[in-house]
Amino acid sequence: MAKPNVRASQKQFTYLIALIAIVGAGALGWAATRPKGGAVAVDPNLPVGTAEGFVLGKPDAPVQIVEFADFECPACAQFAMLTEPDIRARLINTGLVSVKFYVFPLPMHKNTWAASNAAFCANEQGKFWEMHDRLFYTQDLWGTLSTTNPDKKMKGYAKDLGLDEGKFDECYDSQRHYPNIKASGIEAQNRGIDETPSFIIGGKKYAGSLPYDAIKRIVDEELAKSGQANATKTPGAK
């Protein structure tokens, strides 16, 4: 009889505790999050930059997933912590799938612009995805209900990730990526996205924190359309 994987069980338990903390901090449930009123105001005179998506995996992978997410959205954190590790290990690392991530800051989340700003500035030093993971895994520590001043947290994460603090702080304080963050939100709206997380796969839109098996099923369908289903088989969840 195989011995239980204690380390894996402990890791799953840690993820569960993180999810419970997010719920306790006022999560809106694991359904997709929709914009609501009473939210942070964005300067209407802020110029629109370039909608910048951040790619994980081979850009020319057979199946390309476009994701729109808000760093302060609880459903997005659930997806990042529970589903995305399987996607990375079984679909992205095997070359079957790539993910192009766009920030979609929803107006009711007052600290989401700060988080997006931190991610864009981390990208200047080649660590967008490391900051992406840190933000989602610690969402309950920097979200609107936890602090009204997330700047210290963001700069602390940059230090933890080994970024050049001087360069990061200069980027973060300048807010030079705000026009691009705004552009990413407009990109989402132009594509008919009004929930987070949302995904576009094969030209179809899917909303909500999809489990791995649902993503796998969609990917298998897209591979079948492209004639690669027989040559490539997507791994199931463990």
38-90 residue pLDDT tens = 445 556 667 777 888 999 999 999 999 999 999 999 999 999 999 999 999 99
| Average confidence (pLDDT) over 206-220 | 98
Q: How is residue 157 written in tokens?
A: 């994460």
Cα(225)–Cα(238) distance, rounded to whole angstroms? 26
The answer to whether residues 130 and 56 touch, using CB atoms and an 8 Å cutoff, is no
Place of tokens 């200069």: 170
Is the pLDDT score of 170 beyond 90?
yes
CATH 3.40.30.10 fits 63-238, yes or no: yes
pTM for the model: 0.81
Nearest to 139 by CA among 192, 193, 69, 190: 69
Q: Poorest-confidence range of 37-41, 94-98, 134-138, 233-237?
A: 37-41
7-33 residue pLDDT tens = 444 444 444 444 444 444 333 333 344
Cα(101)–Cα(99) distance, rounded to whole angstroms? 6
